[in-house]
Amino acid sequence: MSLFHSVIFGPIQSRRLGTSLGVNLLPVDNKLCTFNCIYCECGWNTPGVKPRFNSRETVRQALREALTRMAAEGKTLDVITFSGNGEPTMHPDFEGIIDDTLALRDALMPMAKVSVLSNATLIGRESVRRALMKVDNNILKLDSAFDDTVRRIDGPANPDYTVASTVENLRKFNGKFILQTMFLRGTFNGEPIDNTTQREVDGWLALVDDLRPEKVMIYTIDRDTPAKDLHKVSLDELNRIAERVRALGIPCSVSG
């Protein structure tokens, strides 16, 4: 498993986003997330760790330095991406940091998009929703239409998590978001994991059709996962799912 040991990381070549400069709002020495996904590239959450965030000013300065350096070297960037060691919207100054980032982007790297990768657990907060409405790529995770599957795959920390309330909050974006879904199979804690069954894909597609996101991104496991008995879904299968999304009139990208 790998953690990001700095506020700014990269630029890296992202499968889904192009040349991406990463911003990590989470602790630099442990993961902090409202989910505990069995496939998380950062590993498991550490129980009992107190949340510590990089301050808004620390983030602003680090980003300004990185963008200034890249601009001086004549380098370009496709995207500034908020991801890192957990869930970026947990940061108490998330909206202010987004405002700073958009201002720095406009001044120093105007061609770069600003993307946020979020698990959508905190989109019920007004300030989080406002911030996500301002960015170019508001990428929100939903791995299943079924509560029991989300519990198994994503391990939400909130015992009251439901897909229905998440969907109600997603609706408030009026389609201005990109839906991101991980497809995978395997077993975990002796229970089967598979969000590619007919019931799963039909239920998920019904939500996609209902929510009408601007785009859907589907992908499968690419690196080491904290749960060991997990398997990739083939590119053929992902492409078949993507075709069904496109048949709804919604663009869909696939990373196998």
Check binding of 143 to ligand SF4 (CB under 6 A).
no
Select the residue interacting with ligand SF4 from 86, 88, 156, 213 (CB under 6 A). Answer: 86
Window contacting ligand SF4 (CB under 6 A); options: 14-22, 34-42, 102-110, 127-135: 34-42
Check binding of 119 to ligand SF4 (CB under 6 A).
yes
Window contacting ligand SF4 (CB under 6 A); options: 13-21, 35-43, 55-63, 244-252: 35-43
CA distance 137 to 145: 22
Check binding of 238 to ligand SF4 (CB under 6 A).
no
For residue 219, the minimal CB distance to ligand SF4 (Å) is 11
User: For residue 203, what are its two tokens?
Assistant: 């239920």
Check binding of 227 to ligand SF4 (CB under 6 A).
no
The H-or-E segment that residue 188 falls in is strand 185-188
At 21, the amino acid letter reads L
244 or 256: whose CB is closer to ligand SF4?
256
For residue 198, the minimal CB distance to ligand SF4 (Å) is 25
Q: What are the backbone angles phi and psi of residue 143, rounded to the nearest 5°?
A: -90, -10
Select the residue interacting with ligand SF4 from 4, 9, 35, 188 (CB under 6 A). Answer: 35
Cα 94 to Cα 53, 155, 158: the distances in Å are: 10, 23, 20
Cβ contact 5:32 at 8 Å: no
Check binding of 37 to ligand SF4 (CB under 6 A).
yes
Buried residues in 149-180 as b, exposed as e (16+ CB within 10 A): bbebbbbbeeeebebeebeebbeebeeebbbb
Window contacting ligand SF4 (CB under 6 A); options: 36-44, 52-60, 68-76, 235-243: 36-44
Check binding of 123 to ligand SF4 (CB under 6 A).
no
Select the residue interacting with ligand SF4 from 8, 23, 33, 80 (CB under 6 A). Answer: 33
CA distance 6 to 8: 6
In the chain, how many H helices and how many E strands?
7, 11
Select the residue interacting with ligand SF4 from 7, 23, 82, 87 (CB under 6 A). Answer: 87
Among positions 159-188, residues that touch ligand SF4 (CB under 6 A) are none
* CA 40 to chain CA mean position, Å: 11
Binding site for ligand SF4 (CB under 6 A): 33, 35-37, 40, 42, 86-87, 119, 154
